[in-house]
Amino acid sequence: MPQTIELHNARNIYTADRVSLRLAEGRIAWIGKPGDMPACTAPARRVEAEGLWIAPGFCDSHLHLFQGGITLGQLNLFGIDTREGFAAALDAYRPGREDAPLLSAVSANYEILGPGTRPDRHALDALLPEQPLMIFSVDLHTAWANTAALTAAGLMDEVPEVQNAEIVLGADGKPNGELREGNAMRLVGRLSAHGGRENAAMAGDEPGPVTEAERAADKAAIAAALGACAAYGITTAVNMDGNLYQAELLSEMERDGELPIRVSLAMRLSPSHDAARIDALIDAANRKGTDRLSYGRIKMFLDGVFDTWTAYRTDDYPDRQGFRSEPLFTPERFEAICRDADARGLQIQVHCVGDAAVRTALDGYEAARSANGSRDARHRVEHIDMLHRDDLPRFSELDVIASMQPVHPPGSSGLPLEPTVSIMGRTRWKDTFPWKSLRDSGATLAFGTDWPTAPLSPFNAIHSALVRQPWAEDVADQRIPFEAVIAAYTEGGAHALFAEGDRGALQVGMVGDVVLLDGDPRDLRHSAEASRAVMTICDGTIVHEAGA
């Protein structure tokens, strides 16, 4: 049973007014002016919050818990943009790991070795010739492996065909080390200590036989991810990489009281899945959830990313005349899945980076509505790096959630502008990451990080949203006000989960998901370090307390 907690004399994140709040039986029982709180008959923990700010618990509307938890123990290359910086980080990380079957690094920029460069196996060999090494790009859609890793995976002897992915070959006909998309990356990733099981989850596949020790290690990775979320004030994590195995792990963790925050798990459908597999995942998505672990959603990818020319767009890539990429699902198959999932009451969410992918997703949702009738479906489009202006009003017309990540625009959160902005093309900059345009059109925004493609910190994401600058004078400023950014991280996320009646606001009767912040969150426009979570409460229970 959650304890009664009284938070006295905090500042409301929305109004800056001083406020006190009582949590009882897992809900907000009273909120008002300091000094006006009625006496409590039950034993209560009193927290003097003078100088602290209070907000609803944050909802990260798009992240990957399993893979994120694993990356907490991997080399993080975020923000490194020189060969020397990479070499120094690798040298500092490697001691004690010389015998690891695969060294893994994450969050590598595409030009991590310097402007105008792109990693390959030869460049990695020069840094680490003998031990297998694989580094993942910041967007997790590409990895680069050294020759030792490619050899250990058997790829230097035979290059298999991979569906919806590419093993890039060099002039000698051998792999050059670049692996595009999950089905290629998994061939090397299975060498890792976790056997690539996190990559299977990202594709919606099952990991195969798993030992009890491996199962325990995977639960530990998820637990580490959940602990990291709680430390950042996140009380709801919308997990994007569901398979039956991960659903089992999370169900067992909930049973054993090991979910400190709320988790919503989407089942991941892949183009490689046959009808039986898709039916099994849709059935799994329809399982009954709880307040702590919910389902009700499926996830698909319609394209990749601009940096690998796999984002599906309505016009040609500037450097590839006549080429626009192509959707991962045929429109006919995608619409059929949408109609089926919608008819069964599920929410659909789709990764769409290019504007043609966004259009295809909206077409699928419209087809589902035409076939099944209108309902409160709240289907979602994830990312929306580029949006054709003709499709802007369709979000509000179809009541589609725009699930976006403030850390994704090139030039934000340590990301370089190149090569992405050149691949997008100068004439399309005006159509990219249109937060303000979508909000002004009446669409609901739900913000997240896509962790581990970007830092998990919501404070870094809020900072990125507040300080983003247009890439040119003729490109509109797509920033939204501070209050709207916070709303997208709280009530917008709750709305996207059909939970706005319970979460996302500081109101009597709402569940006790709140966070106390040290530092005025409005100062995040100046620094990503201006505010931090010092106490996180989920369902009326303290799940993180700084210094405790």
Amino acid 200: pLDDT: 84
pLDDT of residue 79: 87
Identify the pLDDT of residue 1.
61
- Segment holding 467, helix H or strand E: helix 458-467
φ and ψ at 222, to 5 degrees? -65, -40
Q: What distance lies between CA 119 and its chain's CA centroid?
A: 25
Name every residue whose Cβ is closer than 8 Å to that of residue 186 and which is 6 or more positions away in sequence: 196, 199, 200, 203
Q: What is the DSSP letter of 386?
A: B
**Cβ proximity of 282 and 267 under 8 Å:** yes
pLDDT, residue 51, reads 87
Separation in Å, CA 413 to CA 71, 351, 420: 18, 21, 14
Q: Exposed, middle or buried, 254 (CB in 10 Å: 0-12/13-18/19+)? A: middle
What amino acid occupies position 452?
Answer: P
**Contact at 8 Å (CB) between 88 and 79?**
no
CA-CA distances (angstroms) from residue 460 to 72, 222, 545? 17, 22, 20
Crossing angle between the packed helical segments 482-489 and 458-467, to the nearest 10 degrees: 150
φ/ψ of 64, rounded to 5, equals: -130, 95
227 vs 407: CA distance, rounded Å: 21
Integer Rg of the chain from CA = 23
Look at residue 40 in the predicted model and tell me its pLDDT: 85
> CA dihedral in degrees (40, 42, 48, 54; nearest 10)?
-80
Number of other residues whose CB lies within 10 A of the CB of residue 318: 13
Q: Using CA of residue 208, residue 212, residue 214, residue 220, what is the dihedral sign?
A: positive
Please, what is the Cα angle at 233 between 193 and 56, to 5 degrees? 145
CB 182 within 8 A of CB 205: no
Q: Which domains does the chain have, with CATH numbers?
A: 4-54+509-545 (2.30.40.10), 67-203 (3.10.310.70), 212-496 (3.20.20.140)
Which residue, chain included where needed, has tokens 């008002």?
A: 32
- Ramachandran quadrant class, 51 (left: phi over 0; alpha: psi -120 to 50; beta: rest): left
Strand 293-301 to strand 347-352: parallel, antiparallel, or no bridges (unpaired)? parallel
3-state secondary structure of 366: helix
**Residue 64: what residue type?**
H
Question: Residue 108's beta-bridge partner residues?
Answer: 137
pLDDT the model gives residue 3: 86
Question: Which two three-digit tokens encode residue 335?
Answer: 């619409």
Q: Evaluate the CA torsion angle 531, 532, 537, 542 in order and state its sign.
A: negative
Task: Provide block-wise average pLDDT over 10 residues at a time, the chain (548 residues).
Answer: 90 96 97 93 90 97 96 93 95 96 94 92 97 94 96 95 92 95 92 88 89 96 98 98 95 97 98 96 96 97 96 97 97 98 98 98 98 98 98 98 97 90 98 98 98 96 97 97 98 98 97 98 97 98 91
